[in-house]
Amino acid sequence: MKPSQISTVGAWCAILVVPVLIAGGFLLSSSGAGDLIPPTGNARREWLVAVAAAPARFAAGGWLLILMGNLVLVALVSFYYVLRDAGSILILAPVLATVAMVLVTISHLIPIGMAYELAPAFSHAAAADQATLGIVANVLGATSLVVNAAGNALGWGVVVPLYAWAILKTRVLPGWIGWLGFAVAVLGGWLGLLAPVSTLLESISSIGFVLFFIFLLCVGIAILRLVARSRRAVQPVA
């Protein structure tokens, strides 16, 4: 593979995803909300109160996760250039990755909007008004969850296994990373669709969530090493 700017940029984006995720998660946890997307049931009301108590910290964590999503998108699109020799079907990977990350980004923007307007209004409203605002929060929260699930299912369940297959076929990157990608697809993408049915499946799908970011990190490092070897190979001999 010839050295390329898109490969290098994508690899660094894949690596930077992890620290940005950690920083965003820390801010969200310290705000008291615990998670960007509001939970279901009565916990959603507690989420609104917690967000209203620390809106700036919550919003900062949320925007970091938006940044993380943009980094993931650049990384997933750039992987195509490295693995495109796998065949023409791989063109689906960057296309579907774009759709998936747009859905995930929308699901993250909804709760940030709730933090700016709905959470403060709910926290200071009278009991009668809280009931109405609670219904609005339930609708927005459920929408965010559904859109997020659709994006994750497409990304983890289709895009990642496409790249995993390409890694195993081309052998451009270490094969174990390809198998790691299939683990993400099974645990996070395919079993993740059944997570609402069982708490056990939900716990298993959370393993896929962690493995996805490990997959990105490993692919990013492997591509940087590949680019470095390619550059050494094309250097003129003195």
Domains of the chain, by residue range, sit at: 5-234
pLDDT of residue 68: 95
Q: Confirm if 16 and 84 have CB atoms less than 8 A apart.
A: no
Per-residue pLDDT of the chain (238 residues; tens, 9 = 90+): 555 788 899 999 999 999 999 999 999 888 878 788 888 777 778 888 888 888 888 889 999 999 999 999 999 999 999 999 999 999 999 999 999 999 999 999 999 988 888 888 877 776 667 777 878 888 888 899 889 989 999 999 999 999 999 999 999 999 999 999 999 999 988 887 776 666 777 777 888 889 999 999 999 999 999 888 877 766 654 4
The residue among 223, 235, 220 whose CA lies nearest residue 18 is 220
Residues 41, 120: Cα–Cα separation, whole Å: 19
Residue 232 phi/psi, 5-degree rounding, is: -65, -35
pLDDT of residue 65: 95
pTM of the model: 0.89
For residue 152, the tally of other CB atoms under 10 A from its CB is 23
pLDDT of residue 233: 67
pLDDT of residue 32: 79
Q: Confirm if 173 and 82 have CB atoms less than 8 A apart.
A: yes
Q: Confirm if 184 and 215 have CB atoms less than 8 A apart.
A: yes
